[in-house]
Amino acid sequence: LNSDDFKNLIIKIKERNISGVNVTVPFKKEVIPYLDKLTSGAEVTQSVNTILLTNDSKIVGYNTDIGGFENAIKYTKYDTSGKKIFILGSGGVTPSIIFALYNMNVSSITLTNRTKAKAEQLQNFYNSNTKKKNGWNDIKVVDWGEVPEFDMIINATSVGLNKDDNLDLDFSKIGKNKFFYDVIYNPKETNFLKKGIFWGVTQRINTSRIVLPLLLLGCSAEVDFPHPSSEWLMSLDIPHMLHASVK
């Protein structure tokens, strides 16, 4: 897509030929200049994944990745308060996950990325004075391959889209009771999650068509939720929905 494509898309939305648009990488930031307004989450993260035309004919950019992540964790009943979070990858959905995590009262966030400069760029973005006004702790960055102490690890890279993909990280010394979470939703069981399974057993939470696989060490259960409400579904970014994985 180029600037003319974005302009034509906006025209179609304003003419109500299109009701709304789902935006994915690499356009979540590039589309922002063409919008009339951003919601607070989209503004802070500078990331838009949904575009809608309001009743007053304003084209508004939303970030439903934030609510999607928060709801996924909520339905696992995992308490993130005071937890140390380790995120693999710094592009795509990572800014939204960071924003959500701080709303969930985590104690610290550490980033790693194969290209360290990209992780440092996101680190600087969130460690700016504007972000620190919210009382957030500084984000840390470590070299790729280094595995710090954590309670929850999130794979926010594209590694896993292909069934033979593997993250070249050593989890042999991470200890027990760790929560593995993978943003890759197809295949359902990535090699990252299989590493989680290696350390424990599988817990699954099914919400009708939305399945959030969880790998929780020392815990095994199968929980089925009723068909989710339309309000809950609207709060999620279904195309990027979340293969939670936990261990």
Distance CA 38, CA 15 (A): 20
Active site residue 132: no
Instruction: Note the residue count of the chain.
Output: 247
Q: Which of 7, 28, 58, 83 is catalytic?
A: 28
Strand partners, 201: none
Q: Which two tokens stand for residue 225?
A: 């939720």
CB-based contact 185:235 (threshold 8 Å): no
Strand partners, 140: 110
Task: Name the strands in the sheet holding 210-214, side by side, starting at the edge strand that comes first in the sequence.
Answer: 210-214, 203-207, 222-225
CB-based contact 49:63 (threshold 8 Å): yes
Q: Which helix (H) or strand (E) holds 10?
A: helix 3-14
Residues assigned a catalytic role: 28
